[in-house]
Amino acid sequence: MADLTRIAQIVAEAVNGPGRPSLPERLCVACVEALAADAAAITLMADPGHRAGVWASDDRARRIEERQFGLGEGPSVDAFRTRSPVAVADLLSPEEVRWPVLTVDLAAGPGTPAAPAGSALRSAYASPLHLGTTGIGVLSLYGARPGVPERTRAADIRVAATSVTLAIVGSFLAPSGALPEQPWLDESPLDGVEVDQAVGTIMVQLGVPAVEALDRLRAHAFARGREIDEVAHDVVERRLRFTEEDR
């Protein structure tokens, strides 16, 4: 079991660090150090269909988080939905049946949108970020080798998730009571604003509810081997229009 004081110290150092990289990125790096993980990612969202942003310690974790949102399934998605931690022994195992599309997608290897930079990440532990019953996102820890964390290490990750939650929420609370702006919300490597805009456009084009519009966007991206953010950008820029044939 890690030293909980050490975890708190490392997270505190990330909070008080320089402005660059952004606070969520610093927290990801801090969690990798404090928990001896190979990679970490923080996804902030209001619900599984509305993502505020994704930050990660490296491109491997960022791509896995991106694929989960693009496909609408995965450990981070489930952790947010259930408000409970989700452990995955091997993301690439054909025996992993909880997220069949994601598993096949990640196992496809180099040359696919899901191909990670460098060695693949195999294990994952996603812990929800929440205050009471209000969820704000997920902290995901990744390992290069298959396996699930022991009970004590899982407890350490949940402690880190609580510290991350408090750090992010606290960054919006100024001593004066005012709400300071956080530019990193608008600078996320994966910004959910265009996806939301694209969903709204598809709703109008097809006359369908938001959930179905997002499903259509995801299906279009997956079928063409593209990232959902790229397809959303084309929709917003009016380079792509959904028609009745896409229903």
Three-class DSSP labels, 63-129: HHHHHHHHHCCCHHHHHHHHCCCEEECCCCCCCCCCCHHHHHHHHCCCCCCCCCCCCCCCEEEEEEE
Is there a contact between 135 and 128 (Cβ–Cβ < 8 Å)? yes
pLDDT along the chain (247 residues), means of 10: 71 75 89 93 82 88 89 93 94 90 78 48 94 89 93 89 88 59 55 73 82 79 78 85 72
Pairing of strands 123-131, 39-47: unpaired
pLDDT at 90: 95
Q: What whole-number distance in Å separates Cα of residue 128 and Cα of residue 156?
A: 14
Q: Which CATH class is domain 4-170?
A: alpha beta
Q: What whole-number distance in Å separates Cα of residue 80 and Cα of residue 164?
A: 15
Buried b (16+ CB within 10 A) or exposed e, 200-217: ebbbebbebeeeebbbbb
pLDDT at 116: 41
pLDDT at 56: 94
| Residue that has been written with the tokens 């209001």 in this structure | 46
Is there a contact between 140 and 61 (Cβ–Cβ < 8 Å)? yes
Q: Does domain 193-240 have CATH number 1.10.10?
A: yes
Threshold 0.85, pTM exceeds:
no
pLDDT at 245: 65
| Residue that has been written with the tokens 């460098």 in this structure | 118
- Domain extents for the chain? 4-170, 193-240
Give the phi and the psi of residue 8 in degrees, each rounded to 5.
-60, -40
**First CA to last CA across the chain, in angstroms?**
51
pLDDT at 1: 52
